[in-house]
């Protein structure tokens, strides 16, 4: 009982960190382009500015993970990253040229994108043998995302896009304050001569390829879902409701992920989820006019992201040695959400063309998901390795 009581306050701060980190994501992903447009930038300039966010998401986590694994300072890096990101975000209050904002984005996203991989490792190490409870903690990030998507949208409607820096700085300061409360339990650094070399066996390679392909399949959703629904005839309001429905389904599955993992295992759940992802995209490709199937497809976001992410985080945590866990989580994030998401969005833009064959982006997405499922099937070992 004393163990539980001592653990709960620490978990509360972790939940708060997830909440504010993803609340920031819920502010920037939908509305950063709108903010740049209000500053007078054209679509090409906006695209380049948003590409900076993606670029640092690929590079920064891996650089910070190397530092974390070499020094054992994981909670400290979360605190440092959150603090510097909050300070550098102040630059958004000042209007400047394209170059000014580009430099600002490079600085603050470099530190902000360094946080999540370390937060995942700290959370799983804090849970120790209760790692199956990860989903219930991570679900607070989804709550933060949906609260901010709705709240910031209402604020921008009321006050205009220039309110974004004010909302953002409150979120960044809140994240920094919550991070400051994390225990600074520096992980013991394994002496150089005793370190296990960072190697990639067949299981890890196949897993990372499957994760990359799965996020390639999600690329069309992040880049073109709202545009596709508008082309079909739905309003932006309906599109927003559908996005919110997906996040709600994600929160629900996170709450039950631990039970599902304990009962069915990592491999079965990952294959099942990727197959359902393919079904989801085919519903959008061939029956977008059916509101019933649209609701079903968005509900399947619980598997496309929620369950696959919970399974993936535990796979990485158990298949990388203690001294390489930060780099394992960073590699997973940068290859899947960074490289995979970028490739999926880019290829979808090419397929979309003039919009006459828009449904083909979902066929492309379904193919990626099916190949991802096949790669998972070929993974020889998805059980936890002994550390």
User: Quick check: 284 and 300 in contact, CB under 8 A?
Assistant: no
Regarding whether 160 and 66 lie in a shared domain, the answer is yes
**Cβ neighbours around 319 below 10 Å, total:** 21
Res. 376 pLDDT band, cuts 50 70 90 = very high
Geometric angle at alpha carbon 110, from 150 and 92, rounded to 5°? 55
Residue 197 lies in a domain: no
The DSSP letter of residue 114 is T
Regarding whether 223 and 182 lie in a shared domain, the answer is no
The DSSP letter of residue 338 is I
Domain termination site, one of 163, 189, 215: 189
Distance CA 359, CA 353 (A): 11
Tokens matching residue 204 = 């890890």
Of 14-23, 79-88, 238-247, 250-259, which range is least confident? 238-247
Q: What does the pLDDT look like over 293-324, one tens digit per residue?
A: 999 999 999 999 999 988 998 898 888 876 77
Residue 386 lies in a domain: no
Domain termination site, one of 160, 189, 218: 189
Distance CA 19, CA 14 (A): 9
Regarding whether 185 and 46 lie in a shared domain, the answer is yes
Residue 269 lies in a domain: yes
Of 138-147, 342-351, 362-371, which range is least confident? 342-351
pLDDT above 70 (res 180): yes
139-173 as b/e: b if 16+ CB within 10 A: bbbbbbbbebbeebbebbeeeebebbbebbbebbb
| Domain range for 220 | 202-378
Q: What is the CATH number of the domain that holds 338?
A: 1.20.1250.20
Q: Tell me which range, 30-44, 172-186, 273-287, is most confidently predicted by mean pLDDT.
A: 273-287
CA neighbor of 112 nearest in space, from 92, 137, 90, 86: 86
Geometric angle at alpha carbon 9, from 171 and 321, rounded to 5°? 85
User: Quick check: 73 and 186 in contact, CB under 8 A?
Assistant: yes
Regarding whether 242 and 184 lie in a shared domain, the answer is no
Regarding whether 209 and 163 lie in a shared domain, the answer is no
Query: Dihedrals φ, ψ of 71, to 5°?
Result: -110, -20
Q: What is the mean pLDDT of residues 315-344?
A: 83
Regarding whether 231 and 178 lie in a shared domain, the answer is no
Q: What does the pLDDT look like over 184-200, one tens digit per residue?
A: 766 555 555 555 556 67
Q: Tell me which range, 36-45, 239-248, 295-304, is most confidently predicted by mean pLDDT.
A: 295-304
Regarding whether 214 and 162 lie in a shared domain, the answer is no
Within the chain, strands assigned E span none
CA diameter of the chain: 63
Residue 387 lies in a domain: no
Regarding whether 254 and 173 lie in a shared domain, the answer is no
Q: Which residues fall within 8 angstroms of residue 270, CB to CB, at 6 or more apart?
A: 210, 308, 311, 312, 315, 376, 382
Residue 194 lies in a domain: no
Residue 335 lies in a domain: yes
Regarding whether 207 and 185 lie in a shared domain, the answer is no
Residue 19 lies in a domain: yes
Regarding whether 227 and 118 lie in a shared domain, the answer is no
Contacts by residues 273-276 (CB-CB < 8 Å, ≥ 24 positions apart): 273/303, 273/304, 273/307, 273/308, 273/311, 274/210, 274/214, 274/308, 274/369, 274/370, 274/372, 274/373, 274/376, 275/369, 275/370, 275/373, 276/300, 276/303, 276/304
Query: Dihedrals φ, ψ of 386, to 5°?
Result: -75, 125
Regarding whether 353 and 214 lie in a shared domain, the answer is yes
Residue 195 lies in a domain: no
Regarding whether 181 and 301 lie in a shared domain, the answer is no
> Helices (DSSP H) in 233-358: which residue ranges?
236-264, 266-286, 291-299, 301, 308-319, 325-333, 341-352
Specify the residue for token string 């190949």: 371
Domain termination site, one of 167, 189, 211: 189
Query: What is the number of structural domains in the chain?
Result: 2
């Amino acid at each position: 009982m004393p163990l539980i009581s001592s653990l709960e306050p620490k978990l509360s701060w972790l939940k708060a960190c997830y909440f504010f980190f993803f609340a920031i994501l819920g502010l920037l992903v939908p509305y950063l382009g709108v903010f740049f447009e209000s500053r007078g930038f054209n679509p090409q300039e906006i695209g380049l500015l948003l590409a900076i966010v993606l670029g640092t998401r690929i590079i920064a986590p891996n650089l910070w993970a190397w530092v974390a694994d070499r020094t054992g300072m994981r909670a400290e890096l979360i605190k440092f990253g959150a603090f510097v990101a909050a300070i550098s975000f102040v630059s958004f209050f000042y209007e400047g040229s394209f170059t000014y904002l580009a430099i600002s984005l490079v600085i603050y996203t470099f530190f902000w994108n360094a946080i999540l991989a370390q937060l995942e490792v700290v959370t799983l190490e804090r849970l120790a043998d209760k790692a199956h409870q990860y989903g219930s903690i991570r679900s607070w990030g989804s709550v933060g995302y949906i609260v901010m998507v709705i709240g910031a949208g209402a604020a921008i409607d009321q006050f205009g896009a220039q309110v974004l820096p004010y909302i953002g700085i409150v979120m960044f300061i809140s994240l920094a304050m919550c991070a400051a409360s994390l225990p600074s339990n520096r992980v013991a650094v394994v002496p150089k001569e005793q370190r296990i070399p960072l190697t990639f066996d067949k299981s890890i390679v196949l897993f990372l390829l499957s994760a990359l392909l799965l996020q390639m399949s999600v690329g069309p959703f992040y880049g073109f879902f709202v545009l596709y629904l508008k082309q079909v005839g739905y309003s932006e309001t309906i599109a927003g409701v559908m996005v919110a429905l997906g996040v709600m389904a994600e929160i629900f599955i996170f709450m039950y992920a631990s039970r599902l993992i304990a009962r069915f295992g990592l491999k079965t759940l990952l294959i099942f989820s990727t197959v359902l992802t393919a079904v989801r995209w085919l519903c959008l490709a061939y029956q977008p006019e059916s509101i019933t199937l649209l609701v079903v497809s968005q509900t399947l976001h619980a598997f496309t992201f929620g369950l696959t992410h919970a399974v993936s985080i535990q796979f990485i945590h158990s298949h990388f040695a203690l001294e390489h866990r930060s780099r394992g989580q960073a590699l997973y994030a940068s290859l899947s959400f960074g490289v995979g998401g970028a490739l999926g969005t880019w290829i979808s833009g090419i397929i979309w063309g003039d919009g006459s064959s828009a449904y083909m982006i979902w066929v492309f997405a379904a193919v990626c998901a099916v190949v991802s499922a096949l790669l998972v099937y070929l993974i020889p070992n998805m059980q936890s390795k002994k550390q």
